Amino acid sequence: MPRGKRTGGLYRALRAQVLAEEDFCGECRLPVDKTLSGRLPWGPTVGHLIALVDGGPMLRANMQLEHLRCNVAKENRRRAQRRRSRAATPSREW
Ligand SMILES: [Zn+2]
């Protein structure tokens, strides 16, 4: 994704800031063990309140600490929502 590449440095800096400032998951409100690997379900990750693909800004205010599993669940929910709204507005012009 070219957009992700361009904002990569900024994202890394903001992500480090979120990890330093927050201790609780923004989704389930449980504490996040930041010593765990970010690849584990209960490990720490940083997510966006409004997804970038939905027009959310790359700002600290739009980011929060989340468990990886909560982040994945949120993304799945959003993907299903997008699919539904696409299905509701058919736009095939060829
Ligand atoms: Zn969580």
* CA separation for the pair 91, 84 (Å, rounded): 13
pLDDT category at 8 given cuts 50, 70, 90 is: confident
pLDDT category at 1 given cuts 50, 70, 90 is: very low
Mean pLDDT of all residues belonging to the chain: 90
Report the sign of the C-alpha dihedral through residues 24, 72, 34, 2, in that order.
negative
Q: What is the pLDDT of residues 61-81, one digit of tens each?
A: 999 999 999 999 999 999 998
* CA separation for the pair 50, 39 (Å, rounded): 22
Grouping H, G, I as helix, E, B as strand and the rest as coil, residue 11 is helix
Instruction: Find out whether 67 and 45 touch, Cβ atoms under 8 Å.
Output: yes
- CA of 28 relative to ligand 1 center, distance in Å: 4
- CA of 76 relative to ligand 1 center, distance in Å: 14
